[in-house]
Amino acid sequence: MGRWVGGDGFEVEAIRLDGHTLLRVRQHGFLVAYCRSIAEVTRYVPLEELVELVSLPVGEARVRG
């Protein structure tokens, strides 16, 4: 599932709730809405402000030499 952050403390996260995929919109950690579509998300935060958070794999540190 994906996770995006935007300006003014907004965060959008794709989640599974009762067997349905929803987009949870939070602002400063507080629930704003559960959205069924991207169009619904635009009621709360402009899409052009959202940046996807990507988790990078953790591996062994390499020493350059």
pTM score? 0.81
The average confidence (pLDDT) of the chain is: 92
Question: pLDDT (tens digit, 9 = 90+) per residue, 6-29?
Answer: 999 999 999 999 999 999 999 999
Cα separation, 20 vs 1, in Å, equals 13
Question: Taking residues 32-58, what's their average pLDDT?
Answer: 94
Question: Taking residues 33-56, what's their average pLDDT?
Answer: 94
| pLDDT tier at 44, thresholds 50, 70, 90 | very high
Q: What is the pLDDT of residue 13?
A: 97
Specify burial of residue 41 (Cβ count, 10 A radius: 0-12, 13-18, 19+): buried
